[in-house]
Amino acid sequence: MPRIGITGHVRLADGTAELVYDCLAGFLAPYAGTDLHGVTCLADGADQLFARAVLALGGSYEAIIPALDYRRAAVPAGNRVDFDDLLERAGSVSYMPFPRSGRAAYAAANDELLRRSDLLVAVWDGRPSDRLGATAHVVRAARERGLPVTVLWPDGARRG
């Protein structure tokens, strides 16, 4: 069973989270059961939807947190209850060696995510970006490593 990593957009428009969740659950369904294992940084948006889908299908996931201050500095106040719940439900949690959140910490966490994954799922609208740690950057890095990438962007999905 492959270890499945996730990257994807954080800000999703109204109604898009439901579309993305259904798409992720459909993609993961053939892997359902206790052998399903995800790898996520638990960012708001695609990462958290992925974690919920993995749990709903009877699997587990590990969380890679980019920095020691990530919850305080990068998790929006309105998302902290969900973040805390998913962090608590992770099979394992590891923190990157950065005291503060930022692009370098996010890029390092994504590199570690790719290292631990056999397959990457990208909830991505396909738009390019040169921003370190952005979804496009993670997809490009995965492809350069020869890691299989499956891009999911359901019809009607929009970024927020």
Has residue 79 got a pLDDT over 90?
yes
In a domain, 41, yes or no: yes
Tell me how far apart the alpha carbons of residues 106 and 158 are, in angstroms, rounded to a whole number.
23
pTM: 0.97
Range(s) of the domain holding residue 13: 3-152
In the DSSP assignment, the letter for residue 123 is E
Confirm whether 160 is domain-assigned: no
E strands in 50-145? 60-65, 92-95, 119-123
Number of domains forming the structure of the chain: 1
pLDDT for the residue numbered 101: 97
Q: What is the pLDDT of residues 17-72, one digit of tens each?
A: 999 999 999 999 999 999 999 999 999 999 999 999 999 999 999 999 999 999 99
DSSP assigned state of 73: H
Give a yes or no: residue 158 inside a domain.
no
**CATH, residue 65:** 3.40.50.450
Is 13 inside any structural domain?
Answer: yes
Residue 28: phi and psi, rounded to 5, are -80, -20
On whether residue 157 sits in a domain, the answer given is no
CA 10/CA 137 separation, integer angstroms = 14
pLDDT band at 130 (very low <50, low <70, confident <90, very high): confident
